[in-house]
Amino acid sequence: MKLLNWVKKIISRKPMNEELFEKGAFHESGHIIMAYLSGYKADEVVLLENDPGSGYTRFDYGDRRITLLIASMENYITDQSFYNDLPQNLKTASSQVAFKSSGVLMGGPVSEALHLAGIEFEGNLPVEMSGPDLISVTNIDRFLSRTTNNHSPNYITETLISVVNMFKQEQFWTAVQHLSKTILDSPNMTLNRVEIENSLQESGYLDFINQ
């Protein structure tokens, strides 16, 4: 699924695997940057050496109830009982948590797109969402359309644009670049929480979001 109506071919002189690992590092860094902005943490980030370009991040939402709420929203279309059985005081946080989760999910594709197109790119940024990111964002959008009054039919695109605008700010992009390099330079291209947060501290990002 290509968003914002953009198709472009990227030509690079870098070895294919190196280029793919860079894309993966920027992708995972984008997820992490948005997670910390939302008040979440990242316990681990890993780039898969046997599958260049792929990776995963393990998040800590700080509260098991938030983890359950996110899971219930992502599975609402196929199993509404999961969400319906949650306590009402947790359900009241649904819209806010949905927005934060969508931002975290979109942070990866947006960061990857800016890495490929260049931070100075103007116009319709090339953002391609696929796989688990796309499935989860789509399911959250469907959840909100069923449970929230006046839900925007352009929710995904509008949220995506807001993430793009954030990442084009110097503080955000400096943090993304620093974290991506930290991942790529690490043994086995793996970081734990301490290493992730050291990178975010070195780039000034933690101080920036905690102001």
Q: Is the pLDDT of residue 197 over 50?
A: yes
Encode pLDDT of 122-146 as tens digits: 888 888 888 889 999 999 999 999 9
CATH of domain 14-209: 1.20.58
**Structure confidence at residue 16 as a pLDDT band (50, 70, 90):** low
Instruction: Please tell me the distance from the alpha carbon of residue 183 to that of residue 5, in angstroms, as a whole number.
Output: 31
Written as six digits, the tokens of 144 are 């909100």
Encode pLDDT of 83-117 as tens digits: 999 999 999 999 999 999 999 999 999 999 999 99
The whole-number average pLDDT for the span 34-57 is 93
Query: Half-sphere exposure of residue 121, counting CA atoms within 13 Å on the CB side?
Result: 20
Contact 42, 115 (CB under 8 A): no
Res 189: pLDDT = 96
Question: b/e map of 30-64 (b: 16 or more CB within 10 Å)?
Answer: bbbbbbbbbebebeebbbeeeebbbbebebebeee
Q: Which amino acid is at 52?
A: P
The whole-number average pLDDT for the span 201-207 is 98
**Structure confidence at residue 49 as a pLDDT band (50, 70, 90):** confident
Helix or strand holding residue 80 (H, E): helix 80-84
Instruction: Please tell me the distance from the alpha carbon of residue 119 to that of residue 164, in angstroms, as a whole number.
Output: 10
pTM equals: 0.89
Res 11: pLDDT = 37
The whole-number average pLDDT for the span 195-209 is 98
Domain boundaries, the chain: 14-209
Instruction: Please tell me the distance from the alpha carbon of residue 119 to that of residue 104, in angstroms, as a whole number.
Output: 19
Of 82, 210, 202, which Cα lies nearest the Cα of 139?
82
Res 10: pLDDT = 35
Instruction: Please tell me the distance from the alpha carbon of residue 111 to that of residue 29, in angstroms, as a whole number.
Output: 7
